[in-house]
Amino acid sequence: MKIGSISIWRRAALGLVAASVIFAGGLMAGSRLLTSARTSPSSPELLARVNELDAELKQMRKPEKQPSEIISSARNSICFIVSSYRLSASDGPPSPVLHYRLFATGFLTNDGVVVSNRHVIEPWFGDAKAQRLIFHGFLPTRERVLAYFPSLPTPVELSDFFSSTGADVAIAHVHLPPGLAVSPLHLAQTPSAPGDPVLVIGYPLGVTTMLAKSTALPYELSGLRSDEQQVDRLAQINLIRPSATQGHLSDVIGTSLMYDASTAHGSSGGPVLNMRGEVVGVNAALINGFNGTSLGVSVEALQDLLHRMELRRRVLSSQSNR
């Protein structure tokens, strides 16, 4: 009985050793295959797919955050935009110059780039009244685009504008004061899908919502003559503070996002964030008559615009060095 027991245990041990050897051999073979795929010059498609899967795996490993944590981390990177322009007759008898102003939202990405909508950076774009005047010979001229960041008591002016021709998204450069604690928002590297939870952060209704955050301030600001004076005062007393709403993606079609997070005029250009705090889109419009549904431009369209801007920068740099 004892000898039989020893034989049984020995067989079990030998079986375990054999299984371990086979498993280790499989791992080594798999490792060689993966190494071969990474190093073989004849498999660029396989290598690209391996890198893509590796990036997706790393993305999936990132932990999701609480909405309060995302809002707190992103708030200082989201600016209130005051975009102004004028329309004037190009020829003929003198005519009045028409001035327009738009309140909206933008956010900071890497390398001092502010993202918003094309209809914010070019306020006459998509505006039916402005387009009629342009059709009759009026010329639009951008006067200036100011960005008010929550941590700054004064605005900064945006420059070097670059707009997409196929989506309602645009970018501009900003020079922030040195030492300012404003971190750029990170762009998501994986596509979104219907059902994903999202946060939309911006300045709905512009000055009105920010005034509502103080009970005494409306009486003080009522004596100021212009909207810009009111915004300047809000910045001085640290009331440039964006608001956030939460919802889910209801559909993703090409570079268009549809979601049920509530928005309003003034929210245009704000970031649409996933639960890791990454930008998955740029808020663009509200669907009238369909309560609670908003439209955004996907991060893929933004990444394409950033890529084209970088290509243009390289071309201009090479031309200037000749």
Query: What is the pLDDT of the chain when averaged over all its residues?
Result: 83
Q: Read off the pLDDT of residues 106-124 as tens digits, 9 standing for 90 and up.
A: 999 987 999 999 999 999 9
Per-residue burial over 125-148, b if 16 or more Cβ lie within 10 Å, else e, is bebeebeebeeeebebeeeebbbb
The whole-number average pLDDT for the span 214-227 is: 63
CA distance 301 to 314: 20
pLDDT above 50 (res 316): yes
CA distance 242 to 211: 12
CA distance 242 to 76: 9
The closest alpha carbon to 242, from 122, 49, 83, 108, belongs to: 108
Instruction: Please identify, in words, the CATH class of the domain defined by 70-90+98-177+191-305.
Output: mainly beta
Helix pair 44-61, 2-39: axis angle to 10 deg: 110
CA distance 258 to 281: 10
pLDDT of residue 307: 94
* Domain edges within the chain: 70-90+98-177+191-305
Work out the pLDDT band at 42, boundaries 50, 70, 90: low
pLDDT of residue 193: 95
CA distance 148 to 104: 11
The whole-number average pLDDT for the span 302-313 is: 92
Distance between first and last Cα of the chain: 92
pLDDT above 60 (res 18): no
pLDDT of residue 44: 77
Structure tokens at 212: 């509502």
Distances (CA, A) of 322 to 220, 312, 313: 57, 16, 15
Structure tokens at 185: 């928002």
pLDDT above 70 (res 56): no
Provide the percentage of residues in the chain whose pLDDT is more than 70. 77
Work out the pLDDT band at 317, boundaries 50, 70, 90: confident
Structure tokens at 287: 């669907």
The whole-number average pLDDT for the span 212-235 is: 73
The whole-number average pLDDT for the span 122-150 is: 92
Q: What are phi and psi of 205, to 5 degrees?
A: 65, 15
pLDDT above 90 (res 168): yes
The whole-number average pLDDT for the span 18-38 is: 47
The answer to whether 141 touches 157, Cβ cutoff 8 Å, is no
The answer to whether 27 touches 35, Cβ cutoff 8 Å, is no
CA distance 306 to 111: 11
Q: CB neighbours of 137 closer than 8 A, spacing ≥ 6? A: 89, 90, 91, 92
The whole-number average pLDDT for the span 201-226 is: 75
Query: Could you tell me which residue, 124 or 292, shows the higher pLDDT?
Result: 124
Query: Could you tell me which residue, 312 or 105, shows the higher pLDDT?
Result: 105
The answer to whether 137 touches 90, Cβ cutoff 8 Å, is yes
pLDDT of residue 320: 74
The whole-number average pLDDT for the span 133-137 is: 89
The whole-number average pLDDT for the span 231-237 is: 90
Cβ–Cβ contacts within 10 Å for residue 32, how many?
A: 10
